[in-house]
Structures are given as C-alpha cells and as structure tokens.
C-alpha cells in the first residue's frame, strides 16, 4: 500500500439492483413504475430549450419547489429537493445525526441506512423487527442520536399506521426523526400531516416510484423551517446546483397532473392486490404490502432457486442474501402483462 492510500476512506458500498436491458426482459427488480411519466412531462420535454443548458440551473429550484408547494399546500421554506431521495437522505444523515449517540433504524430495512452511517462515521443500532417483520414502536423508546425508518418499510412492504408513527415520534422529541416515505403513495398514510405538530420530524419522498421518474433523480423532504434551512445550508456547502435544468422543468410537470398520478398509482395497487392472490395460489406467503412490490417466500422452494430460475427466463426480481431475508424475494409490481408472464412461468416451474 502506497502512503497516500492510507488516507482513503474505506467503505462497503450499497449494491444497486441490476439494470439489464433488452427487448425480451421483464424487469421487476428495482421498484420502477411500469407506467410512463405524466403526459405533461413528455410535452415539456418536446418543448425544452436546449440552448438554456449553457446557464446554471436555479440553485433554489424554485419552479419545482413551487409545484410541490402548490400540490401539498405547504410553504416553500418547508420543502427541500435533491437528486433522488438518496441524495436527500444522505444529506439528512450528514446534517442531523451528529450527536455521537447511535441512531436507530430497523434491522430489516432499506440497506442504504447502515451504508450512510458508515460513510459519515455515525454510530447506529439496528433494532430487530418482530418475527412477522413488523416494526414495534415501543422498541424505539431508548436513548439515541436520531431515528429513521421507511414507512412502508422496505423490502417488506409493511406499513405502520399513522398512530404508530406518531408513537415513535412522541417518544423521540429530543432527536430528529426521519420517515422515509418512498412508497407511501401506494397505500399508506403520510406523516406529512404531523409536521406542523413536530418540529423535529422530516418526511422524505421521491419521484422515482409513484411519479414514474426514477430516471430523473428527484427526491424531496418536508418539515419545519429549521430542518429545511439546516438541510439547505449543508446542501449549499456540498454542491450549489444539484438538480439540473431538465429535472426542475420535468419534475414540476410531473407534480401538476394529479389525475394521472392517482390513476396510475391506483392501477399499480390493483395489480398488486391481484398479485397477492395469484402468488398465494402458487404456494407463496406474502407480507401485507402497501407498496409497489410484494415480498414473498415459497412454502417448498428456496427463494434463491426461484430467483435463478426466473432470471434464466429473463424475468428479473430482487434477492437479498441477508440472514433474515434469504428465503424471500422482492417482486416489483409491473404491468398486468408482465405479471401474467411471471405467473405462467411460475405455474409450470413450481408444478
């Protein structure tokens, strides 16, 4: 090892799902929305003036923040935007979790949390979910440096009720509590309604799932003025111009079409509920998912075998080699056609 290598930060990076490409592929592995972005996005893309790219984008992202402010009827200084909710969450870790005490998050959860904690040197404690993968609010009643959990949780899809979320916040009024609502639009109740009551509550959402914009990288946070100002200060200390011109323009368009948003999320929910029935008929147990994926295990065949068999058929789902998850698969809800193709294969494979 050369001397300069000693000062390199050592990390175990998050591994994103595969991004295979090809015409025959059925891609149910990264929780993308099967429906395209709202029609207004396409129209704005067609009309976009590429000459303007020579100029920096608005560092305050006003056009996008305005659209979110209108949509949620929330003041602009209570909304923060970033390059996907990963960017927003990473900045939130860096901004809020500096007490030196361990932060708390579930042991079965979004696998980026321990990665960010390691990256920024934040101590943490992974709090076990129960045997049925449920987060127990009472487990979050202990001294800590902050709390973060997804609601609904990933990769289980299980959603806490708003009363349970509030129970966790109430028990943690001395630290920042982050509710990561990447999947909330597919059936959960958002903690957004609580941000007026709790100044220490940050609610994070994304355009990648319910708004069909994973490719644009847009995430946002809502909370008290103090939380948002602190996040903005750290953002301006990291990169003044994070969202590029197309993200600002197309993101704003995506938010404006409430009808399309409601229609496509309802379609995903409909396909998901059908999936639960069909997969049970095939011998799978499904958690009660409120997201755009199902989390399943088979009564006879090990998850990894099913994963490999699907992969050979060019049907990509997600397998996690973690101790508590290794007999489960996370299957993104695709179009009805994609799902039928998967059921057909599983029917013959599991016979």
Does the footprint of its own copies cover residue 41 (CB under 8 A)? yes
Of 154 and 303, nearer to its own copies (C-beta) is 154
Which distant-in-sequence residues (6+ apart) come within 8 Å of 110 by Cβ?
Answer: 150, 154, 180, 182
Surface-to-core class of residue 232, CB atoms within 10 Å of its CB (0-12 exposed, 13-18 middle, 19+ buried): middle
Please list every residue from 171 through 190 that binds its own copies, using CB under 8 A.
173-176
Does the footprint of its own copies cover residue 42 (CB under 8 A)? yes
Does the footprint of its own copies cover residue 141 (CB under 8 A)? no
Q: How far apart are CA 56 and CA 53, in angstroms?
A: 7
Does the footprint of its own copies cover residue 216 (CB under 8 A)? yes
Here's the x/- map for its own copies, 74-103, by CB under 8 A: it reads as: ---------xx-xx--x---xxxxxx----
Of 159 and 223, nearer to its own copies (C-beta) is 223
Q: Which of 145, 152, 187, 223 binds its own copies (CB under 8 A)?
A: 145
Here's the x/- map for its own copies, 103-122, by CB under 8 A: it reads as: ------------xx-xx---
Of 7 and 321, nearer to its own copies (C-beta) is 7
Does the footprint of its own copies cover residue 213 (CB under 8 A)? yes
Evaluate whether 181 touches 188 at the Cβ level (below 8 Å): yes
Of 39 and 302, nearer to its own copies (C-beta) is 39
Count, residues near its own copies per rule CB under 8 A: 87
Measured from the CB of residue 199, what is the shortest distance to its own copies in angstroms?
A: 7
Of 267 and 350, nearer to its own copies (C-beta) is 267
Of 20 and 161, nearer to its own copies (C-beta) is 20
Q: Which of 214, 267, 282, 350 binds its own copies (CB under 8 A)?
A: 214
Of 187 and 223, nearer to its own copies (C-beta) is 223
Measured from the CB of residue 301, what is the shortest distance to its own copies in angstroms?
A: 29
Q: Which of 136, 164, 244, 335 binds its own copies (CB under 8 A)?
A: 244
The interface region with its own copies, picked from 33-41, 123-131, 276-284, 316-324 by CB under 8 A, is 33-41
Q: Quote the tokens at residue 269.
A: 């929910």
The interface region with its own copies, picked from 67-75, 214-222, 288-296, 324-332 by CB under 8 A, is 214-222
Evaluate whether 38 touches 254 at the Cβ level (below 8 Å): yes
Does the footprint of its own copies cover residue 283 (CB under 8 A)? no
Does the footprint of its own copies cover residue 7 (CB under 8 A)? yes
């Amino acid at each position: 090892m050369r001397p300069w290598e000693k000062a390199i930060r050592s990390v175990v990076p998050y591994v994103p799902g595969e991004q295979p490409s090809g015409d025959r592929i059925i891609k149910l592995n990264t929780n993308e929305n099967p429906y395209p972005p709202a029609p207004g996005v396409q129209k704005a893309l067609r009309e976009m003036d590429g000459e303007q790219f020579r100029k920096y984008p608005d560092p305050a992202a006003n056009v996008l923040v305005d659209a979110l402010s209108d949509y949620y009827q929330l003041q602009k200084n209570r909304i923060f935007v970033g390059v996907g909710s990963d960017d927003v969450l990473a900045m939130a870790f860096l901004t809020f979790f500096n007490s030196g005490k361990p932060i708390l998050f579930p042991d079965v959860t979004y696998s980026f949390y321990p990665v960010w904690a390691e990256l920024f040197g934040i101590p943490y404690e992974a709090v076990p979910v129960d045997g049925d993968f449920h987060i127990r609010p009472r487990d979050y009643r202990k001294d800590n440096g902050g709390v973060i959990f997804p609601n609904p949780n990933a990769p289980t899809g299980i959603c806490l009720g708003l009363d349970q979320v509030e129970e966790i916040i109430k028990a943690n009024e001395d630290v920042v509590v982050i509710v990561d609502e990447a999947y909330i639009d597919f059936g959960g109740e958002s903690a957004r309604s609580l941000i007026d009551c709790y100044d220490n509550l940050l609610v994070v959402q994304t355009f990648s799932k319910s708004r069909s914009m994973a490719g644009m990288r847009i995430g946002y946070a809502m909370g008290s003025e103090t939380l948002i100002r602190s996040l903005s200060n750290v953002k301006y200390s990291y990169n003044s111009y994070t969202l590029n011109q197309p993200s600002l323009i197309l993101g704003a368009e995506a938010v404006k079409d409430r009808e399309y948003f409601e229609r496509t999320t309802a379609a995903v929910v409909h396909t998901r509920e059908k999936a639960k029935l069909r997969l049970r008929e095939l011998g799978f147990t499904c958690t009660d998912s409120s997201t755009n994926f199902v989390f399943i295990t088979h009564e006879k065949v090990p998850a990894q075998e099913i994963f490999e068999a699907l992969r050979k058929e060019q049907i990509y789902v997600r397998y996690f080699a973690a101790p508590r998850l290794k007999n489960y698969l996370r299957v993104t809800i695709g179009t009805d056609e994609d799902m039928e193709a998967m059921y057909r294969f599983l029917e013959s494979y599991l016979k």
